[in-house]
Amino acid sequence: MSQLQEIIQESKLFYPISKHFGIVINKINSYSSIPIDAKKLEKALPNVVAIAVVTDDLVVSINFDFENYFFEKMKRRLFTTLIPAVTWIQEEVTNKDR
């Protein structure tokens, strides 16, 4: 099972389609993602409001900018520490639920 399939499967277990949520990706290790998966993620999980990516790695930051071109609906933002990322996700979900 791919990482994307795992994220989708687990998300559907915990968040019904009527419940908005966000994803925090803490990239401790640099690993590649498949940019085309962005469209698959947006289609499979339309209730995802935003994605926060946490990294202090310059290469991951550059990849983040590239990956943004493949997302149409989800907000994405880059952070260097976890707490501001979680706070931002909470704010985005709260704003969407209003």
CB neighbour list of residue 35: distance below 8 Å, 6 or more residues apart: 66, 67, 69, 70
**What domain count does the chain have?**
1
Taken as a whole, the chain contains a residue count of 98
Residue 38's domain is classified under what CATH number? Answer: 3.40.50
pLDDT tens for the chain, 98 residues: list them.
Answer: 788 899 899 999 999 998 999 999 998 876 667 888 889 999 999 999 999 999 998 888 888 888 888 998 899 999 999 999 999 999 999 998 88
Phi, psi of 63 (to 5 degrees): -60, -35
Q: Residue 67 belongs to what domain range?
A: 3-97
Quick one: 21 exposed, middle or buried, by C-beta within 10 A (0-12, 13-18, 19+)?
middle
pTM, 2 dp: 0.88
Task: Give the number of other CB atoms < 10 A from CB of residue 62.
Answer: 10
